[in-house]
Amino acid sequence: MSERTAQTGKSFAGQKFSPSSKTVRPSVNSFETLKTKIGERIRAIDPNDSHRKKKATRIFLESVLLFEFGNNLMDDPTFYILIEDIQNIMESDEATKLQIERLVEELTSRT
């Protein structure tokens, strides 16, 4: 992580991200749409891909953060570094890793 920070010259510690517009409580339909889109993207990953779980977790994290903070984050190259850092931290804790894997499986099994 410190290597990445050195490469970008930035650190995420202490930074605050805020939505580009006023925060509005998403509707239940918005959450259902988000769940559906995440599930579709995860199901598109080849089931035989040896990195499927890691890719699925990344899709989940990316989708939720974009949903919360806006798609304009996709234009910021450090956003993807943030996603990777968050994923590495979450996967380093075994209990969190298992919870994320169960959540991803639930989202994937939706039809």
pLDDT tens-digit readout, 5-53: 444 444 444 444 444 444 455 565 688 899 899 999 999 999 999 999 8
Contact 39, 107 (CB under 8 A): yes
Give the other-Cβ count within 10 Å of 107's Cβ.
22
Neighbours of 60 (CB within 10 A): 19
Can you read off the two tokens belonging to residue 96?
């969190």
What's residue 105's pLDDT? 85
Question: What does the alpha-carbon distance between residue 71 and residue 76 come to, in Å, rounded to a whole number?
Answer: 10
pTM reported for the whole predicted model: 0.69
Asked if 63 and 34 touch (Cβ cutoff 8 Å), the reply is yes
Burial class (CB in 10 A: 0-12, 13-18, 19+), 59: buried
- % of residues, the chain, pLDDT over 70: 72
What's residue 56's pLDDT?
93
